[in-house]
Amino acid sequence: MDPRIREHAEIIANHSVDLEAGDNVVIDAHPVAEDLVVALHEVIGDRGANPITTSQRTGKRQQRAYLRAADDEFETPEHELALVKNTDVYIAIRATDNATQTSDVDPEISAAHQQAHRPILEERLSKRWCLTQFPAPANAQLAEMSTDGYENFVWDAVNKDWEAQRAHQEHMVEIMDPAEEIRIKSGDTTDVTMSVAGNPTLNDHGEHNLPGGEVFTAPQPDSVEGAVLFDMPLYHQGREITDVSLEFEGGEVVSHSAAKNEDVLTEVLNTDDGARRLGELGIGMNRDIDQFTYNMLFDEKMGDTVHMAVGRAYDDTVGEGNEANDSAVHVDMIVDMSEDSVIEVDGEVVQRDGTFRFEDGFEE
């Protein structure tokens, strides 16, 4: 077995989920990620914990078969909810043999299914959880990379000194945490402001997301004003959505468009009331992620990007007494900040053209 796989498993156990003896562990993984699952079982067995493996969330072929056969009347599956309630640790491993497996599922069906599974998502987020990636050939193909090149890319981003990454990102946490207002401006297509007053900024250094490499917070739901062009594409439910444009008034999306698969974007925004508001503002800071790969787990961490998510706000990013945006969805979208772009915090430029104020090369 590639020693990088064993290192990946050790980081998940030791750093991401703080594995303990006696823990009940659910690993959700596609069969193509078997090597990482095996490595995790070795670590889990050595620690005296108890693993089971499923492909309920990551088995896209099964999910496609079910959703194409089902109608749009879904109920929360109580047996799946019971499984998550009775676990201590939940590890989800992304990997696939076909990145567009669910592309022919009706977006309305997907949205209804996601809404029914919302209690399961909420339960998972209450556990010690980690979402990570195994470098499968289909993911390499989607990234337009060789399999060997993609393996190097993934493990360079994952198997690193996360304490050093945490310390680097803490500079930005110290800037954002006491902030009142943040403005994101890029070219003549993006100029948006939002209040983050009273909401903490979190340092993602490889605990819940592996790789980590961002700092993030929640906007005040009604405060977002302006327009954003998300000029980097995303995949949602097996479909590519490109050049998403959103206009906000009073925190709500009042107009939207996309160059490709606008109908999928529309279904996302129509999921519920909270899907038309922002639940997250994140700033990428992982310099080992240096190219776009059509994988949000990596792309949103790139060091010269910001991302915003429509939908659910993470509870830990909402300050006491502040409103938390509530939704069944959380869909991230990315703005390239490498050229003609600034991030302003309370009127002060803290990043220009992808370079932070505390990094070499920053220009006033």
Q: The domain that contains 144 carries what CATH number?
A: 3.40.1830.10
Cα–Cα distances in Å, from 203 out to 183, 272, 294, 316, 336? Answer: 20, 29, 23, 11, 21
Which of 344, 107, 111, 148 lies closest to 239 in space, CA to CA? 107
Residues 169 and 121 in one domain: no
Lowest mean pLDDT among 22-31, 110-119, 123-132, 321-330: 110-119
| CA torsion, ordered 239, 244, 247, 250, to nearest 10 deg | 50
Q: Looking at the predicted structure, is the pLDDT value of residue 88 above 80? A: yes
Asked whether residue 287 is domain-assigned, the answer is yes
Residues 278 and 154 in one domain: no
Residues 128 and 209 in one domain: no
- Between β-strands 239-241 and 341-345, what pairing exists: parallel, antiparallel or unpaired? unpaired
Number of domains within the chain:
2
More confident residue, 61 or 261: 261
Q: Looking at the predicted structure, is the pLDDT value of residue 222 above 80? A: yes
Q: How many CB atoms lie within 10 A of CB 101?
A: 19
Residues 320 and 191 in one domain: yes
Q: Looking at the predicted structure, is the pLDDT value of residue 300 above 90? A: yes
Asked whether residue 246 is domain-assigned, the answer is yes
276 DSSP assignment: G
CB 140, CB 146: distance < 8 Å: yes
Which of 295, 307, 309 lies closest to 337 in space, CA to CA? 307
Among 144, 159, 174, identify where a domain stops. 159
Q: Which helix (H) or strand (E) holds 65?
A: helix 60-69
Which of 172, 239, 161, 231 lies closest to 202 in space, CA to CA? 172
Domain hosting 24: range is: 3-159
Q: What is the pLDDT of residue 77?
A: 86
Asked whether residue 230 is domain-assigned, the answer is yes
Q: How far apart are CA 225 and CA 249, in angstroms?
A: 5
Asked whether residue 78 is domain-assigned, the answer is yes
More confident residue, 102 or 229: 229
More confident residue, 107 or 160: 160
Q: Looking at the predicted structure, is the pLDDT value of residue 15 above 80? A: yes
Q: How many CB atoms lie within 10 A of CB 78?
A: 11
Asked whether residue 364 is domain-assigned, the answer is no
Residues 153 and 221 in one domain: no
Q: Give the relative orientation of helices 118-125 and 107-116 as an angle to the nearest 10 degrees.
A: 50
Asked whether residue 361 is domain-assigned, the answer is no
Residues 155 and 168 in one domain: no
Q: What is the pLDDT of residue 57?
A: 61
Q: What is the mean pLDDT of residues 350-359?
A: 94
Residues 274 and 340 in one domain: yes
254 DSSP assignment: E
For the chain, what is the mean pLDDT? 93
Q: Looking at the predicted structure, is the pLDDT value of residue 182 above 60? A: yes
Burial code (b: 16+ CB inside 10 Å, e: under 16) for 28-58 equals bbbebbebbbebbbebbeebebbbebebbbb
Among 107, 128, 159, identify where a domain stops. 159
Q: Looking at the predicted structure, is the pLDDT value of residue 58 above 60? A: no
Q: How far apart are CA 237 and CA 63, in angstroms?
A: 11
Residues 84 and 120 in one domain: yes
Q: Looking at the predicted structure, is the pLDDT value of residue 330 above 80? A: yes
Q: What is the pLDDT of residue 59?
A: 61
Amino acid at 327: S
Q: How far apart are CA 88 and CA 20, in angstroms?
A: 10
Q: Looking at the predicted structure, is the pLDDT value of residue 337 above 70? A: yes
Q: Looking at the predicted structure, is the pLDDT value of residue 99 above 80? A: no
Q: What is the pLDDT of residue 65?
A: 80
The DSSP string of 327-350 is: -S-EEEEEEE-SSSEEEEETTEEE
Q: What is the mean pLDDT of residues 4-8?
A: 98
More confident residue, 344 or 66: 344
Q: What is the pLDDT of residue 61?
A: 75
Residues 81 and 191 in one domain: no
Q: Which two tokens stand for residue 211?
A: 């790789």
Residues 181 and 245 in one domain: yes
Q: Which two tokens stand for residue 127?
A: 């556990």
Asked whether residue 298 is domain-assigned, the answer is yes
Residues 220 and 274 in one domain: yes
Q: What is the pLDDT of residue 64?
A: 80
Among 103, 137, 159, identify where a domain stops. 159
| Residue 161 DSSP SS3 | coil
Asked whether residue 284 is domain-assigned, the answer is yes
Structure confidence at residue 56 as a pLDDT band (50, 70, 90): low
Residues 351 and 258 in one domain: yes
